């Protein structure tokens, strides 16, 4: 096990890179497999030099639930932003900045939250302050700040805390 | 006009619907880029095309090539993953650069300091 | 019959995506500030990528997929470099 660990330091990254290579080549011929494995090994060893913080996903179930919620919210928020764009003048002038306090401190958790916020149009991640643990957001439809705080904290952050901490 | 692949009817209808839906959503996003009043609002518009627009057209492309070559072809997932990871990076960098510039030049379109955190009630 | 339906809807989708690219190009031209222009350029790249994908569906060949991937990559790198430029005023530090 430890010998394998030494050759392939990041097994998941290795598999992901190999899958990417095979998808790009669109074949599973032996030659492609071997060359893909070499490329994936190179990527793994390059990653060792960067020595990233270890990421641990604790609850697979929570991750699946989060993916489901985000999938639904993508459609919902696309519809919301679409109606604002095509709507009248008064609908388009409610945007503004807001700040909220996050309990989440894990770097990977924050990265996933940033992706979620961007995938659901209408909220834009501007700046996270790690000292004050606050997040500056720009919201297109800023009528009620507490509505957005509830959405982010209850719908996403609780699940992210379960997954990463 | 000519040269479109001959698909079974169900696949052709499904792909047509997905591609048209993706194109319409992307167009709405691009129109938003023109209609919204200030820069920070406008940053929300392209993410319409980058999420559902890209998603619809990629699923349409996946169905086309899987049916055409009668094997499971999902190399479009690469573009989907790539766009999902890069869009937050570009928008975040752009928003921060704009915020920095607005604060340095005091244009008044961005708050000088962060607003007070809204607490969960 | 089915090829006809697909060809028509792909043509319409390509026209819509072309209009979207035109909107992005207008935002790129009128600005008013540098960040607006970069945002327009980023949208332009993503729409061009989608246009290539629809052309790829129409041709039935996976050749256009690679082109779309490269366009997406170039757009990402260009936007990040320009955003860094706005932040610091120099591209290479």
pLDDT at residue C89 is higher than 70: no
Q: How many interchain CB pairs under 8 A, B with C?
A: 187
CATH number at residue C83: 1.10.287
- CB of A126 within 8 Å of any CB in chain B? yes
* Selected residues 25-54 of chain A with any CB under 8 Å from a CB in chain B: 26
Domain hosting residue C37, numbered range: 2-88
B25 belongs to a structural domain: yes
Higher pLDDT, B111 or C89: B111
CA distance B31 to A76: 19
pLDDT in tens, B46-86: 888 888 899 999 999 888 888 887 777 778 888 888 888 88
pLDDT in tens, A117-163: 888 888 888 888 888 888 888 888 877 778 888 888 888 888 888 88
Quick one: A89 and A34 in the same domain? no
Asked if residue B18 is part of any domain, the answer here is: yes
Confirm whether C93 is domain-assigned. Answer: no
Could you tell me if C56 lies within 8 Å of chain B, comparing CB atoms?
Answer: yes
Please count the structural domains in chain B: 1
DSSP for A48-115?
HHH-PPP-----HHHHHHHHHHHHHHHHHHHHHHHHHHHS-GGGGG--EEEEEE-----HHHHHHHHH
User: Does residue C40 lie within any of the structural domains?
Assistant: yes
Average per-residue pLDDT in chain B?
84
- Would you tell me how many other CB atoms lie within 10 Å of the CB of residue A84? 23
A84 and A8, same domain (yes or no): no
A104 shares a domain with A44 = no
Same domain flag for A149 and A70? yes
- CB nearest B44 (choices: A119, A124, A153): A124
Give the pLDDT of residue C93. Answer: 39
C1 to chain B, closest Cα gap in Å = 8
Please, what's the b/e burial string for C55-68 (b: 16 or more CB within 10 A of its CB; e: otherwise)?
A: bbbbebebebbeeb
Q: Is A120 on the interface with B (CB under 8 A)?
A: yes
Q: Is residue B52 part of a domain?
A: yes
Confidence of residue B117 (pLDDT cuts 50, 70, 90): confident
Task: Specify the range with the lowest mean pLDDT, choosing from B15-19, B35-39, B70-74.
Answer: B70-74
Q: Chain B 38-97, CB below 8 Å of chain C: which residues? A: 39, 42-43, 45-46, 49-50, 53-54, 57-58, 60-61, 64-65, 68, 73, 75-76, 78-79, 82-83, 86, 89-90, 93-94, 96-97
Greater model confidence, B22 or A151:
B22
Q: Are residues A94 and A139 in the same domain?
A: yes
Q: Is residue B30 part of a domain?
A: yes
C-beta contacts of A129-136 below 8 A and 24+ residues apart:
A129/B114, A130/A105, A132/A101, A133/A101, A133/A102, A133/A103, A133/A105, A134/A99, A134/A100, A134/A101, A134/A102, A134/B114, A134/B117, A135/A99, A135/A100, A135/A101, A135/A102, A136/A97, A136/A98, A136/A99, A136/B114, A136/B115
Share of chain C above pLDDT 70, in %: 95
The whole domain housing B52 covers 9-105
pLDDT reported for residue C31: 77
A43 domain-assigned: yes
Q: Is residue A55, in this structure, part of any structural domain at all?
A: no
The reported pLDDT for the residue numbered A101 is: 86
Q: Tell me, what's the pLDDT at B1?
A: 45
* B93 in a structural domain: yes
Interchain proximity C59–B89, CB inside 8 Å: no
List, run by run, the mean pLDDT of 10-residue segments along chain A (165 residues).
Answer: 73 86 81 87 84 76 87 89 81 81 85 87 86 86 82 86 82
Residue A94 domain boundaries: 60-164
pLDDT at B96 over 90: no
| B51:A134 CB<8 A | no
- A137 at interface of B, judged by CB pairs closer than 8 A: no
Q: Does B118 map to a domain?
A: no
pLDDT at B3: 64
pLDDT digits (tens, 9 = 90+) for C10-53: 999 999 999 999 999 999 998 788 888 999 999 999 999 999 99
Contact state of B40 with A153 under an 8 Å Cβ cutoff:
no
Nearest by CB to B1, which of C11, C36, C38?
Answer: C11
Q: Tokens for C63? A: 């050749």
pLDDT above 50 (res C91) = no
- In a domain, residue C11? The reply is yes
C93 vs C20, more confident: C20
**What local confidence, expressed as pLDDT, does residue C92 receive?**
44
Number of domains in chain A: 2
Tokens of B19: 């591609």
In a domain, B31, yes or no: yes
């Amino acid at each position: 096990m430890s010998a394998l660990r030494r050759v392939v330091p990041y097994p998941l990254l290795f598999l992901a890179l190999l899958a990417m290579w095979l998808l790009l080549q669109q074949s599973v011929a032996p030659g492609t497999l071997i060359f893909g494995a070499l490329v994936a090994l190179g990527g793994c060893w390059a990653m060792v030099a960067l020595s990233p913080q270890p990421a641990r996903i604790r609850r697979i179930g929570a991750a699946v639930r989060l993916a489901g919620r985000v999938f639904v919210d993508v459609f919902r928020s696309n519809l919301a932003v679409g109606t604002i764009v095509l709507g009248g003048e008064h609908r388009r002038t409610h945007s503004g900045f807001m700040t909220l306090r996050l309990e989440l401190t894990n770097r990977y958790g924050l990265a996933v939250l940033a992706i979620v916020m961007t995938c659901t149009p209408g909220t834009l991640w501007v700046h996270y302050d790690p000292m004050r643990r606050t997040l500056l957001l720009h919201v297109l439809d800023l009528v009620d700040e507490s509505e957005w705080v509830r959405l982010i904290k209850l719908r996403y952050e609780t699940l992210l805390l379960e997954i990463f901490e | 006009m000519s040269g479109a692949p001959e698909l079974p009817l169900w696949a052709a209808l499904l792909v047509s619907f997905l591609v048209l839906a993706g194109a319409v959503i992307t167009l709405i996003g691009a129109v938003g880029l023109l209609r919204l009043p200030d820069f920070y609002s406008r940053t929300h518009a392209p993410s319409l095309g980058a999420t559902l627009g890209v998603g619809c057209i990629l699923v349409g492309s996946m169905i086309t090539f899987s049916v055409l070559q009668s094997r499971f072809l999902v190399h479009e997932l690469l573009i989907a993953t790539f766009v999902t990871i890069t869009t937050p990076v570009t928008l975040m960098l752009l928003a921060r650069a704009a915020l920095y510039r607005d604060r340095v030049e005091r244009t008044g379109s961005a708050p000088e300091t962060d607003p007070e955190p809204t607490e969960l009630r | 019959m089915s090829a006809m339906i697909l060809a028509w809807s792909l043509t319409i989708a390509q026209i819509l995506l072309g209009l979207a690219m035109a909107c992005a190009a207008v935002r790129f031209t009128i600005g008013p500030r540098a960040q607006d222009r970069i945002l327009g350029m980023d949208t332009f790249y993503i729409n061009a990528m989608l246009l290539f994908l629809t052309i790829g569906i129409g041709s039935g060949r996976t050749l256009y997929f690679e082109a779309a991937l490269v366009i997406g990559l170039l757009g990402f790198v260009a936007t990040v470099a320009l955003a860094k430029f706005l932040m610091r005023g120099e591209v290479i530090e």
